[in-house]
Amino acid sequence: MTDFSSRFAELLKTLDDENAEFFGAGMRDELLALVPAIPDRAAEACLFRELAVLEAKRDELVCLDHAERALAAHADTGALSDHRLYFMHLTCGDVGTAWNGGPRTAFHLKEALRLHAELGRPLPEAFSLRLNRGVHERTNGTARMGLDWFEPLLADGEREYGAESPYLNHLLGLMSDSEEKLGNMPRALAHAERALALLDVGSDMGRRVSALTAHAKLQLRAGHEARARQLSDEAIAFADAHCSRATQEFAREQKAKIFPVS
């Protein structure tokens, strides 16, 4: 076994261990230190695949550059299994969506969806991939292009999880925003009302305060001042009953911004 192989194998044990704890930047530096010792194209594909996934987990857009090099080497060697390719595409697509990684993001999402079907991966992963594809299309194309992904996803989500599932909250919020961009305020309001009703705050009570405030702003943009005031007052009352002093102040500040004193 070459020096590269033995060193890389040890790092891979840690990277593949779901329970392992390590400092991300430190692991990145250890992987990068192996680059000058790469013995062949197959090893190059494997090393840069790990760099891509690691940097994606660190939410760094450079993951797309590492994935590009891994895929080029893989094209020459077939060194990467579909399983390892899938998780690289999945994580890179997620980061590319969050940071608007351009056309490469769409490629990763498309490949991840293809491999998801071939590998029989869990349904929630496909839901997230399709959601990301809609976000990418909306960001880089039009609101209508985003809805072309969101609308069938909502139908599938309702069928799989139930129409009252909190799992649909984020999707409905995105649909509301897209409809508003298209000038379809009745649809935007309907999706937003439903998203608010499905919100699961968990242990973060401040999420409901933020959601109520955001919906108040939407209602005001739609010309419904009375409903907007009602939601702002609900946000304040909820914050007073369940949240910290800072969140209580936030709720009042937001109402003051929505309804400034003339």
Tens of pLDDT, residues 25-55: 999 999 999 999 999 999 999 999 999 999 9
Burial of 224 (0-12, 13-18, 19+ CB in 10 A): middle
Which residues are CB-neighbours of 130 under 8 A, at least 6 positions away? Answer: 113, 149, 153
Q: pLDDT (tens digit, 9 = 90+) per residue, 91-104? A: 999 999 999 999 99
Q: How far is CA 10 from CA 63, 71, 121, 149, 259, in A?
A: 22, 23, 28, 42, 60
Q: What is the pLDDT of residues 159-191, one digit of tens each?
A: 999 999 999 999 999 999 999 999 999 999 999
Whether the predicted pLDDT of 201 surpasses 70: yes
Report, as an integer, the average pLDDT of 66-81: 98
The whole-number pLDDT of residue 202 equals: 84
Q: What's the CA gap between 37 and 3, in Å, rounded?
A: 8
* Domain parsing of the chain, residue ranges: 208-262
Q: What is the DSSP string of 65-80?
A: HHHHHHHHHHHHH--S
pTM over 0.85: yes
Tokens of 49: 């695949």
Element (H, E) at 52: helix 41-57
**Residue 79: both structure tokens together:** 């060194």
